[in-house]
A and B are shown apart, each in its own frame.
Chain A
């Protein structure tokens, strides 16, 4: 019996973990308890030295001193930013205005929700804020004009969930941390797939409007408020302004040498910078003089687009250009959001936009969120201390690398497992518990499997014979691709009935009782939970289609990680400065052992010109 236990510690430990987690006690402490229990068992069986547990505080200290990279600091910053933006009313302003633009079109409100969902996603990273705002504002309007309830609910939940894949999302930060990859590259890799996913949602809405026009009718003319003096809607003026500014921005960017995600973000910022003076001129000067330069609608659109696009530039732009690390970008974004909310308060003369209660409330919620996230990480690190001690990582790696089908077998099994686990785990749990188990196997498979080698060659990544085996020299792009793949897949954890968070948030704000519509005066039936669940299904399917597209077309992510402007991740472009950001080699977080030799990626000579993996300054000893 004792011999059996000693020989099978890893599988037993894993089974005990699953059993304990299902008891429903907070995950952080269950993880820690299983780790310590097996540590005690291991000491009893003579597998570990009696002072084994002295390593526990060292592991907690590792989390606290940013040993796993500095990126986890970005979590409270982006959370705080999202909460402030939610209360500042930015989402409401956007929805109202974008709804005016698309409203008359068939399916227009659904497109508006998708566009605003994507914009909010690029400014924050907080799913709940978008889903709740859109559920409160857009859902009643969609119901009023006869939208199919399932379509309305599904569009809102899915568009809100975009916050998880479009940078700066929390899930990308945590995945980057767990894979010991620069967040910067993760963001770049995820931007295009994220926008594409939004595009697929819009395509689905379009298909529905073709097939069942009455499922998403356009708004009647009287429901659209802004009118010019001559009764027109002012769309032409908007189109001219938008087209003109975009064309000019594209022209300015033509020779910039900036590509991919960076280019998208900068072009957007330039566009709004060009359009803004026209709107200001129109609002401040010309209207009083009786001259109309641009329509009211165009003016309004410009004004509501400024805050989100300014924030996108402030956060993503500075990160992509290498002006700021993701952590600093998050901090500046948070302060920027406070400033924007303050400006809103001043211009609208509305104290509800920003006040001490809002700030305190946002801070307290950020503190609680940081606490449960970081405690899961601490729990996972206590668990892994023992799990790695009994060679659990080798056991999992062996299981995963012996799957049939090489790279694609691995991807299929992993994605299927994540999809199924997402039914009852949320992404924090997936990222901290499951991902570290996948990491060693992923590295082996991406380095040496025949499929990975073929893929690497087709994408122009360098390979060489190392130790008698052909090997991909720098697996960073492939790991980023894998990370983005997992991030898209983990979105499903928000959309799975019955526990998906996005569905829960929507349920909490969707009408549960029959109510009287305040415009039409008709009694409107409530949105049933079943309608929300059914509505989510097509969007879940689209998310899986996106996973398949990414597996089939890895170039989409991989080329984005090779933008020539800056290659290095959470580091200052000015070279190794005094800042610890640069001097700490990122060791794997989560379940890895403290003091894992950081040379894993860096020991092999990198061919000149290839983007470096997680930067390693070998002149500085690793922190242990």
Chain B
């Protein structure tokens, strides 16, 4: 169990680092969007490559930050019924969710998106927009992100099992809405 828990901690560190680095993509996308707007207005420049760069950056942000968001429990839940359950019961439900919901979804997406992305890479598929970027980096992000999500699911399962087995004290339960608001507000 201890080995598993340290593996889980390593996964958490990895996904958190990836998420934190990816977050800077927001600023980059911001600069690209503003520069694109100004260049287009003032000099009549502007291209689909710039626009697709924003989408590539934004996709990288939300896809690569997803495992980290899961680890810090900020994906929205509807806990109107389960919020009142004991911590143990919620841990059981979480375990079921990880195994029955998250892992199958992540696995199916990895399984179907890998050939999807590799075909695009092999063909060096271009954009359907004039002057756009190659599409394979965007498509390759899908199996990478869902692969990481699968990894994170395993880490979550280890942590939840440890809680149920009493090896560690309960991790923070389902975040209260104050903890994970729709507006990105931190708990205060």
Residues of A within 8 A of B113 (CB): 56-57, 60
Residues of A within 8 A of B138 (CB): 61, 64-65
Asked whether B65 is an interface residue with its Cβ less than 8 Å from the other chain, the reply is yes
A371 touches B55 (CB 8 A): no
B76 touches A57 (CB 8 A): no
A24 touches B184 (CB 8 A): no
Q: How far is the CB of B21 from chain A (nearest CB, A)?
A: 10
Bound form: Cα–Cα A371–B176 in Å:
18
Asked whether A372 is an interface residue with its Cβ less than 8 Å from the other chain, the reply is yes
Residues of B within 8 A of A27 (CB): 75-78
B78 touches A424 (CB 8 A): yes
Residues of B within 8 A of A332 (CB): 33-34, 37
Bound form: Cα–Cα A5–B123 in Å:
42
B46 touches A24 (CB 8 A): no
Bound form: Cα–Cα A23–B180 in Å:
18
B52 touches A580 (CB 8 A): yes
Residues of A within 8 A of B74 (CB): 368, 371-372
Residues of B within 8 A of A508 (CB): 178, 187-188
Bound form: Cα–Cα A65–B181 in Å:
26
A36 touches B108 (CB 8 A): yes
Asked whether B61 is an interface residue with its Cβ less than 8 Å from the other chain, the reply is yes
Asked whether A128 is an interface residue with its Cβ less than 8 Å from the other chain, the reply is yes
Asked whether A249 is an interface residue with its Cβ less than 8 Å from the other chain, the reply is no
Bound form: Cα–Cα A507–B179 in Å:
12
Residues of A in contact (CB 8 Å), total: 90
Residues of B within 8 A of A128 (CB): 181, 183-185
Q: Pick the contact of A579 from B47, B55, B188 — CB < 8 Å? A: B47
B70 touches A26 (CB 8 A): yes
Closest to B139 in A: A61
Q: Restricting to B156-188, which residues have a CB under 8 Å from any CB of A?
A: 174, 176-178, 180-188
Asked whether A228 is an interface residue with its Cβ less than 8 Å from the other chain, the reply is no
B33 touches A331 (CB 8 A): yes
B33 touches A327 (CB 8 A): yes
Bound form: Cα–Cα A73–B74 in Å:
20
Asked whether A198 is an interface residue with its Cβ less than 8 Å from the other chain, the reply is no
Asked whether A28 is an interface residue with its Cβ less than 8 Å from the other chain, the reply is yes
Q: Restricting to B41-68, which residues have a CB under 8 Å from any CB of A?
A: 41, 46-48, 51-52, 54-55, 58-59, 61-63, 65-66, 68
Q: Restricting to B84-142, which residues have a CB under 8 Å from any CB of A?
A: 90, 93-94, 96-97, 100-102, 104-105, 108-109, 112-113, 116-117, 128-132, 135, 138-139, 141-142
Q: Give 11 A-B contacts (CB < 8 Å), ordered by A residue.
A: A23-B93, A24-B82, A28-B76, A33-B102, A36-B108, A61-B139, A65-B135, A327-B33, A368-B184, A424-B78, A426-B76
Q: Tell me the A residues contacting B by CB distance below 8 Å.
A: 20-30, 32-33, 36, 53-54, 56-58, 60-61, 64-66, 70, 72-73, 76-77, 79-80, 82-83, 126-129, 132, 170, 323-325, 327-328, 330-332, 334-335, 359-360, 363-376, 379, 382, 423-429, 499, 501, 504-505, 507-509, 572, 577-581, 583-584, 623
Q: Tell me the B residues contacting A by CB distance below 8 Å.
A: 19-20, 22-27, 29-34, 36-37, 40-41, 46-48, 51-52, 54-55, 58-59, 61-63, 65-66, 68-70, 72, 74-83, 90, 93-94, 96-97, 100-102, 104-105, 108-109, 112-113, 116-117, 128-132, 135, 138-139, 141-142, 174, 176-178, 180-188
